[in-house]
Amino acid sequence: MSNTIDQIIKKYQELGENPETYLEGLLHADPITYWDYVEVDTLLSLQKPRTPFKDEVIFIMYHQVTELLLKLIRHELEQLVDGDIIDKNQVTVKIGRCIRYTEMLISSFDIMKDGMDPGEYQKFRKTLTPASGFQSAQFRYIEILCTPLENLINEEGRQRLPQNPSVEEYVDHIYWKDAGYDRSTGKKTLTLQRFEEKYLEDFITLAKKVQGLTLGDKISQMGDRSSLLVQTLKKFDYLYNVEWPMVHLRTAAHYLEEKNGQIAATGGSKWKKYLHPSHQQRKFFPALWTEIEKEQWGEPKTIDHGNKEQTTSTYYSRRQDL
């Protein structure tokens, strides 16, 4: 105990502070509690439904949990991107964490699919127009941290790009704008307009900051890539960019398809086309995939893993029904 006190005294002396003041402050401070540290009361007060339907609270909490999981992924990626030097073991560990968080995102869609009364959902969802999960900025931050902007342009977008595009031009043709931008008329949905007003400059600023420094850039410059690292990166890439969009697509179909037609998404997007990985064509680490795998992106296929062949849907997911 005396050694600990000596270390505390030394710490504050080196900071040019009076250790006695800090020790006296500790004497009078209340012990920390779980509810204060985690901000439980604040957290549980953040659900503010706009309708009287009880299941709207579930809808809000689900999306709040999603944003927290995205923040966990972003937290790991920022450490990899901000660091001057990263090694294969560090990447493997941190991307392994990102895999676990993504698997939680995938399995959590059961809350959306089976955790709400469909009748209530069809009623309260109209109150949310034009808000949309499309407007999750953290999703876009993660993309920008993971890979160079050219990997976030689908084939249609590539045909529109000028030679030697700037960051702004890349962002103008980024795949996700297809969800709310009619390029033939120049008209944007209100969902996209407000999203860009809020976040577009932040996206451009981050993209410029990490230009040449994204995780994908650092992986390409890494001379010694172990088979474990490659498989870990490919698993994260596939889970995040194929499995998660596909389970999202199936969940959207559960609520937005009816026998007599299709219900519009709250943001007005052509959700069937936009959500499918074959349209998004988003790959964080394209150099790790074969040409055939890239051509069949988003389709059930077989990948050779040494002596075993497994379909991506069973290899890259814990759940066999995803």
Hey, what domains does the chain have and what are their CATH numbers?
A: 1-45 (no CATH), 58-292 (1.20.58)
Alpha carbon separation from 73 to 55, 66, 101 (Å, rounded): 28, 11, 7
What is the model's pLDDT at position 35?
97
Torsion-angle region of 135 (φ positive above 0: left; ψ -120 to 50: alpha; else: beta): alpha
What is the model's pLDDT at position 320?
34
Dihedral over Cα of 193, 62, 322, 80: its sign: positive
Residue 283 has φ and ψ, to the nearest 5°, of: -135, 125
Q: For the segment 264-320, what is each residue's pLDDT rounded down to a tens digit?
A: 555 555 556 667 888 889 999 999 999 999 989 988 654 444 444 444 444 444 333
Q: Check whether 182 has a pLDDT greater than 60.
A: yes
Which whole number is the average pLDDT over 187-211?
97
Burial class of 260 by CB neighbour count within 10 A (0 to 12, 13 to 18, 19+): exposed
Alpha carbon separation from 218 to 21, 51, 229 (Å, rounded): 46, 47, 13
Which whole number is the average pLDDT over 12-19?
95
Q: For the segment 103-126, what is each residue's pLDDT rounded down to a tens digit?
A: 999 999 888 888 999 899 989 999
What is the model's pLDDT at position 265?
55
What is the model's pLDDT at position 321?
33
Cα 280 to the center of its chain, rounded Å:
14
Which whole number is the average pLDDT over 205-213?
97
Q: Check whether 252 has a pLDDT greater than 80.
A: no
Contact 170, 147 (CB under 8 A): no
SS3 171: helix
What is the model's pLDDT at position 279?
85
Alpha carbon separation from 299 to 169, 243, 284, 293, 296 (Å, rounded): 30, 10, 17, 9, 5
Q: For the segment 213-227, what is each residue's pLDDT rounded down to a tens digit?
A: 999 999 999 888 899
Q: CA-to-CA distance for 66 and 94, rounded, in angstroms?
A: 19
Q: CA-to-CA distance for 151 and 144, rounded, in angstroms?
A: 10
Q: CA-to-CA distance for 312 and 314, rounded, in angstroms?
A: 5
Cis peptide before 130 (omega within 30 of 0): yes
Burial class of 24 by CB neighbour count within 10 A (0 to 12, 13 to 18, 19+): exposed
Which whole number is the average pLDDT over 64-84?
95
Q: What percent of the chain has pLDDT over 70?
A: 86
Q: CA-to-CA distance for 85 and 99, rounded, in angstroms?
A: 22
What is the model's pLDDT at position 64?
97
Q: Check whether 208 has a pLDDT greater than 80.
A: yes
SS3 180: coil
Q: Which residue has the tokens 């450490």?
A: 79
Mean pLDDT taken over the chain = 88
Q: CA-to-CA distance for 28 and 7, rounded, in angstroms?
A: 20
Q: For 43-57, 86-100, 110-124, which range has the lowest pLDDT when averaged over its residues?
A: 110-124
pLDDT: which is higher, 254 or 266: 254
Structure-block tokens of residue 1 = 């105990």
Beta-strand runs (E) in the chain: 181-182, 187-188, 257-258, 261-262, 302-305, 308-311
